[in-house]
Amino acid sequence: MSEYHDEFQEDQQKLNALNLSWTLGFNYKMVNGVHNLTNDSRKEIFYATAHTGVIFDYGNNQQRLLQGHCNKISCTAYCKELDIIVTADAGPDSMLVIWDAKTGVPRRTIFEPHANGVQAVDISENGQYLVTLSKEEPDKIQSISFWDWQSQDPRLRTTVLDDKLKDYQYYVTINNNAEQKQNQQQIFEFATTGKKRVVFWSWEYGAAGFEYYSPEVQKNKVLTQTVFIPKNKNVVTGTLDGYIIVWDVSLIIEEYGQPDERRVIKIVNLMNVANKSETQQKKGNAQILLLRVQGRYLVVGASNGSIRFYDFKFRIRAWFEDVVIGQNGLNIQCIGSITNLSFANESVFQEDFETESDEEKDKDEQSQKKSKPFLCQDFIVVDDRANVILLKSSQFQEIEKEKKKGTVIMSSIVSPIISISVRPNVPVVAFSCEDNKIYEWNFYEKHNKLKEIKEKGSELQIQILMVIIQLSVQKMEQFICMIAEKKNGLKIYWFQKLTKLNQKQPIQLLVLIQNILLRLMNLMQSVFLIFDFDPNSQLKQQKEWIFAGKYRVHHGPIKSVAFGETLDEKNQVQLKVFTIGEDMKLAVYDVLDPTQDPYNRVKLRSVVTIEQECLPSACIWYPINLQREDVLLTTNSEFKLKLWTVLKDLRIICKKTCLGPTFGGHIKRLLLLNPSDMKNEYQDKYLAYSTGEKVVGIIKLPLDGNPNKTMGLIAHPEKIVDLSSTQDGKLFFTSGGDDFAINIWSVDFAALEDNFQTQETEYEIFSNLLDGGPEGQTLRDLKDFFYYSQIRSKDEHTTKARKLDGLVPLTAIADMMRSMGYFPTNQEIENMINEIKFSKYLETGEQISELEINTFLKLYVNHKPVNGVTKGQIYDALKTLATDTGVIPWDQFTELLKTKGEKLDEQEIEYYLESLLPNKNYPQQLNLNNLCDELLGFEDMDGTQEQQEQQEEVQDVGSEDEQQ
């Protein structure tokens, strides 16, 4: 079975153009999120990174990636007996997956175990049963489910929690030692734990529902986790003040509860320092964060980094405290606050590690000589610094400090990522985090520890905003990043040297390019600045950044920036900079030669409005340039990709508009995937892109709107903060910010080309993008309107036979688009006409004056909005115009038509209003209803499904009559 799967997996990888090859980072905050899979034959651990499960072979430094979840993995569990891993996520389209830990193959996938996903999961010791707790908003009611995952109908029972509990439950634990009474169905018992209450649940197999109760707890106690003590009825719950609460069945009947219900028997001070030594008191109270039962021990993980082993009478048997895991200069690093704890599955201890019964304990208590020595499997702990540490049980017996050190298996990302950048000629990725630190990691050697980049002798309190790596004039890789010192303004960190700049405003975006010199630009709100090397610096060691110019052009935040190289009048290379902003404008700048005026290098060339109804989101210099045009690529919030030609007279013309990827939201970032082939005009070019959340993908150039030349997949479960790639484009990197993850993707360009190949004709490809496809009403309408436009162009009022040549003039584009229900603005009509008119001008020198139906089909698909206008959008527009009231006076409305946007004169307004309201019964004020229903005559698209089906039947009958 495993051999078959390996062959299948290899075949799949050949077909996949984009494969996740490695993931850096993991969710160290997830309780029970790391599991020790180590046994006599392997050295592996399992952890969750974003929406991917990772089986990490720390002996051979290899990863097996368990992919399938769309949302961030919220909880995990592991069964040693069956060697299976359980993962579950929270969010829409959630999943519960049971994986084979040996092969990494999913053995069962359960879709939507709960409506909003899973908060917690536990698996029985024999691996047959699961208990899940639903993920809900804090004020919503949770549900709990019991599963037999191997049965045909796996969900055995589900019930909702009692709203009277008033306490959100975070953890669930199965009792693997529940009593089995004679002649009775099997009874299952489990407990859920919130911050204020513990709920004990039981279910008799086949019963209609669960039975449960929740005993009272002291109000000042904040609970953490609950475990069942084996071979008796004791249950232990940890608290944040260092105590454990012991529950047991009491024979004393109280006013509340039943005789067989557990209640608080005692509260034991395990970690509190009130009665400890003065040295321990200075360390402060330790919180009990984790509880485990391992063999004959109750294991406690605490916030002070200690791991303690108690017997079931709560007497300490062993402890691992102040465990050293490294040294940073003179500072000794110890294990931090414990977030996870997991024991190996080594069989060598099984005979000596059986749990003692109560009778055996009583006998051993009489003679200390008979008490067994401390013995347990090796285990791993995870702390709040994202360290995974291996500890051996034999270390407890050691006396020398050197032998008591822990072994760090992995040290990873501890803070949300801000930005990433790959060094050009060295396999190193650098990234900055919100903890104001910069790290680098070699992605070929795949070290298990991150290297922090520091300035020697500097103890500045700084806020790092961006890290970028580029190639200097001397072909040496250098780190360059922008940092903001909290008190002293803005500084640039370069070549391990700080250069102070008098700038204290926040930076939103930072971009670096490679030309003759390194140029650094940052965008602060709507201000554009540029920095360069001081041309007066002669020695490499003395080079510093100086201010080179700034502009405030945009009236809103700048969304993206791009650099491009062109030739000036003297045929010299000229560096250009482009910025796009939320004000829907594109600004073009020249960066002048530093020898003229090194402190005034930026010159604004032109500003043009590029959008009217949506927001521009990203831009990049277009690498396909066979005709030596200067072309910029922009994207917008309506899923469109636009090419802009920058002419020598500084005019900017829309060269082409294409439909972009629509999966996962509009594009937010663009990256040239193979920059090493930039100057090879005939080499295939690819763009990597990312949306605001989840999706990354690849677009093959040149652009034509063909969806078969794009691909996308879910790369992160939430937002994507940055992209970077190697020079050859065979690896590119994505960071997810809050998921502490950097994913490394391998690109197979041959497989990419195979995926992009299709047997469909261009007509078939674009007709499939219409509602109803090639046989739908939309395509029939498009053909009818195109044929009618041919007739109109040949004089429709004649009775002579017409000879149609399959072409219509470009002036007919506007009417055909409006007939199809798409109402473009005058600027959009001009863009469409120019796109066709100059499509072959650089090749042949001729302008196109007519178009055929296939060209019109492509034009319509590429230009029409992906989503129609909704009443909600119209209402938002009215609120903007009417100062949030949603009602606008008629006189103010007509005045806006005359003065804003594409202005109308009195005659035009009168003509259009007479067409809409022939009786000239104009309303005194406009609101959502009379604008949509009375003035514009929009149909209510919120009708029932039956009404829509009836309307479609009428349209079909009408089309058949026309054909007859």
Cβ partners under 8 Å of residue 285, min gap 6: 241, 242, 271, 272, 273
Q: Which residue has the higher pLDDT, 347 or 869?
A: 869
Residue pair 292/310 in contact by the 8 Å Cβ criterion: no
**Residue-level pLDDT at 668:** 93
Of 299-308, 387-396, 788-797, the least confident: 788-797
Q: How confident is the model at residue 49 (pLDDT cuts 50, 70, 90)?
A: very high
DSSP designation for 675: G
**Residue-level pLDDT at 150:** 93
* pLDDT greater than 60 at residue 487: no
| 762-863 and 511-617+626-658 share a CATH fold | no
Q: How confident is the model at residue 958 (pLDDT cuts 50, 70, 90)?
A: very low
Q: How confident is the model at residue 480 (pLDDT cuts 50, 70, 90)?
A: very low
Burial classification of residue 800, based on how many CB atoms lie within 10 Å of its CB (0-12 exposed, 13-18 middle, 19 or more buried): exposed
* pLDDT greater than 70 at residue 352: no
Residue pair 384/31 in contact by the 8 Å Cβ criterion: no
Here the tokens at position 333 are: 């690093």
The predicted-structure confidence for 563-612, as pLDDT tens digits, reads as follows 887 777 777 777 888 889 888 999 998 877 766 776 777 788 889 999 98
Q: Which residue has the higher pLDDT, 691 or 528?
A: 691
Q: Which residues pair with 586 in a beta bridge?
A: 580, 608
Of 187-196, 510-519, 725-734, 844-853, the least confident: 510-519
Residue pair 430/424 in contact by the 8 Å Cβ criterion: no
Q: Which residue has the higher pLDDT, 710 or 372?
A: 710
Q: How confident is the model at residue 274 (pLDDT cuts 50, 70, 90)?
A: low
Of 532-541, 729-738, 778-787, the least confident: 532-541
Average pLDDT of span 856-883: 83
CATH T-level topology, domain 871-950: Recoverin; domain 1 (1.10.238)
Place of tokens 């009277």: 164
Q: How confident is the model at residue 914 (pLDDT cuts 50, 70, 90)?
A: confident
Cβ partners under 8 Å of residue 230, min gap 6: 176, 177, 293, 355
**Residue-level pLDDT at 876:** 78
Q: How many Å is the maximal CA-CA distance in the chain?
A: 120
Q: How confident is the model at residue 294 (pLDDT cuts 50, 70, 90)?
A: very high
- Measured between alpha carbons, how far is 312 from 656 in angstroms, rounded to an integer? 75
Candidates 2.60.40.650, 2.60.120.10, 2.130.10.10, 3.40.50.1970; correct CATH number of 511-617+626-658?
2.130.10.10
* pLDDT greater than 80 at residue 364: no
* pLDDT greater than 50 at residue 9: no
* pLDDT greater than 70 at residue 72: yes
Task: Looking at mean pLDDT, say which of 249-258, 260-269, 928-937 comes out highest.
Answer: 260-269
Query: How does the average pLDDT of the chain come out, rounded?
Result: 79
* pLDDT greater than 90 at residue 367: no
- Measured between alpha carbons, how far is 520 from 480 in angstroms, rounded to an integer? 9
- Measured between alpha carbons, how far is 553 from 562 in angstroms, rounded to an integer? 16
**Residue-level pLDDT at 6:** 47
Question: What's the full length of the chain, in residues?
Answer: 964
Single-letter amino acid, residue 844? T
* pLDDT greater than 60 at residue 449: yes
CATH T-level topology, domain 762-863: Recoverin; domain 1 (1.10.238)
* pLDDT greater than 60 at residue 102: yes
Q: How confident is the model at residue 716 (pLDDT cuts 50, 70, 90)?
A: very high
The candidate with the shortest Cα–Cα distance to 78, out of 130, 123, 119, 29, is 123
- Measured between alpha carbons, how far is 37 from 16 in angstroms, rounded to an integer? 29
Average pLDDT of span 85-91: 96
Q: Which residue has the higher pLDDT, 529 or 19?
A: 19
In SS3 terms, 419-440 reads as: EEEECCCCCEEEEEECCCCEEE
Residue pair 353/396 in contact by the 8 Å Cβ criterion: no
- Measured between alpha carbons, how far is 515 from 574 in angstroms, rounded to an integer? 10
* pLDDT greater than 90 at residue 100: yes
Cβ partners under 8 Å of residue 860, min gap 6: 782, 816, 817, 820, 822
- Measured between alpha carbons, how far is 929 from 886 in angstroms, rounded to an integer? 11
Of 175-179, 355-359, 758-762, 809-813, the least confident: 355-359
- How far is the first Cα of the chain from the last one, in angstroms, to the nearest whole number? 60
Residue pair 697/16 in contact by the 8 Å Cβ criterion: no
- Measured between alpha carbons, how far is 439 from 427 in angstroms, rounded to an integer? 14
Residue pair 636/614 in contact by the 8 Å Cβ criterion: yes
Cβ partners under 8 Å of residue 195, min gap 6: 167, 168, 170, 222, 223
- Measured between alpha carbons, how far is 839 from 857 in angstroms, rounded to an integer? 16
**Residue-level pLDDT at 695:** 93
- Measured between alpha carbons, how far is 420 from 734 in angstroms, rounded to an integer? 8
Q: What percent of the chain is modeled with pLDDT above 70?
A: 77
Q: How confident is the model at residue 473 (pLDDT cuts 50, 70, 90)?
A: very low
Single-letter amino acid, residue 459? E
The candidate with the shortest Cα–Cα distance to 38, out of 100, 87, 80, 67, is 80
Q: How confident is the model at residue 627 (pLDDT cuts 50, 70, 90)?
A: low
Classify the C-alpha dihedral 485-491-497-499 as positive or negative: negative
Torsion from C-alpha of 66, 70, 73, 75, nearest 10 degrees: -100
Q: How confident is the model at residue 232 (pLDDT cuts 50, 70, 90)?
A: confident
Average pLDDT of span 29-42: 92
**Residue-level pLDDT at 483:** 41
Q: How confident is the model at residue 939 (pLDDT cuts 50, 70, 90)?
A: low
Here the tokens at position 935 are: 């003035």
Domain ranges of the chain: 417-507, 511-617+626-658, 660-756, 762-863, 871-950
